[in-house]
Amino acid sequence: MMVRLEDITKSFGPNQVLKGINLSVEQGEIVSIIGPSGGGKTTLLRTINWLEKPDSGSVTVDGETVAASSASGAGIHALRSKSSMVFQHYNLFRNKTALQNVTESLIVVKKLSPAEADNRGREILDRVGMLDKAGEYPARLSGGQQQRVGIARALAVDPRVMLFDEPTSALDPEWVSEVLDVITGIARQGMTMILVSHEMRFVNDVATRVLFLDDGRIIEDGSPANLFNHPREERTRQFLMKTKDFLSPAEAI
């Protein structure tokens, strides 16, 4: 088992946002989380690397377990080393080149020499199709290119699991497909992924499994074909009907 969440709850003040989440993800699965705004998708993703501390329950990634009742700094550090997250806004260092954005963690976290980091950084930029822009600063890159550097940066730490929180929702429409293509490529190479996305067509194409999260609970969990074409729950059906780029059944798988 690559990721296991057991009985995760989380409240912000009186607002209980996660109401008992149980989830197991096997190595190589591409799990997509969909659901209405405010349903807890981002909060759930952030608990996986303990950016959000749950009130109860435990998180295991690749054999490292942290429980809310007994979290230690060392345990949290070990847990965080197993995953990396790609955010909606690329959060690149503005004063570093594309390559330096990638090599930063190789030097600081992975302790590579500058020359080794440089080689490895170029390899990773190549994987996201950005090698030719290695020397550019973020201000001179398109939104899609910046997000691809963001993905390269997340890849650089050799994560066992990649977490994506709506990686294309801040992009102009013209840059969406290149970023989705890069994510698809990484998925096809066997990376385990948990991905929050509103791009239903992409979810349908790339995910091996879809979770519908609503009001802090996983309401439905199934293959894209089943969940999109034959939702069991009324709430899933309602949500899918409101999703504007939802596929007609004939188009889905």
Contacts with ligand ATP, residue ranges (CB under 6 A): 12, 15, 17, 37-43
Q: Are 145 and 133 in contact (CB under 8 A)?
A: yes
Cβ 215 to Mg ion, closest distance in Å? 14
Cβ 47 to Mg ion, closest distance in Å? 13
- Could you give the CA distance from residue 231 to residue 217 in angstroms, rounded to a whole number? 16
Q: How far apart are the first and last CA of the chain?
A: 27
Task: For the beta carbon of residue 209, count every other beta carbon within 10 angstroms.
Answer: 18
Residue type, 30: I
Residue among 50 and 101 whose Cβ is closer to ligand ATP:
50
Residue among 157 and 240 whose Cβ is closer to ligand ATP:
240
Q: Which stretch binds Mg ion (CB under 5 A): 5-13, 36-44, 171-179, 214-222?
A: 36-44
Beta-strand pair 30-34/209-214: parallel
Q: State which residue has the least CB distance to Mg ion.
A: 42
Q: Are 161 and 2 in contact (CB under 8 A)?
A: yes
Residue among 37 and 70 whose Cβ is closer to ligand ATP:
37
Q: Is the sign of the CA dihedral 70, 13, 215, 199 positive or negative?
A: negative
Cβ 15 to ligand ATP, closest distance in Å? 6
Residue among 42 and 168 whose Cβ is closer to Mg ion:
42
Cβ 93 to ligand ATP, closest distance in Å? 24
42 binds Mg ion (CB under 5 A): yes
Residue among 39 and 138 whose Cβ is closer to Mg ion:
39
Distances (CA, A) of 119 to 21, 126, 191, 203, 209: 41, 11, 22, 33, 35
Cβ 192 to ligand ATP, closest distance in Å? 21
For residue 241, count CB atoms less than 10 angstroms from its CB and return exposed for 0-12, middle for 13-18, buried for 19 or more: exposed
- Among ligand ATP, Mg ion, none, residue 70 binds (CB under 5-8 Å by kind): none
Cβ 153 to ligand ATP, closest distance in Å? 22
Q: Which positions lie near Mg ion, rule CB under 5 A?
A: 41-42
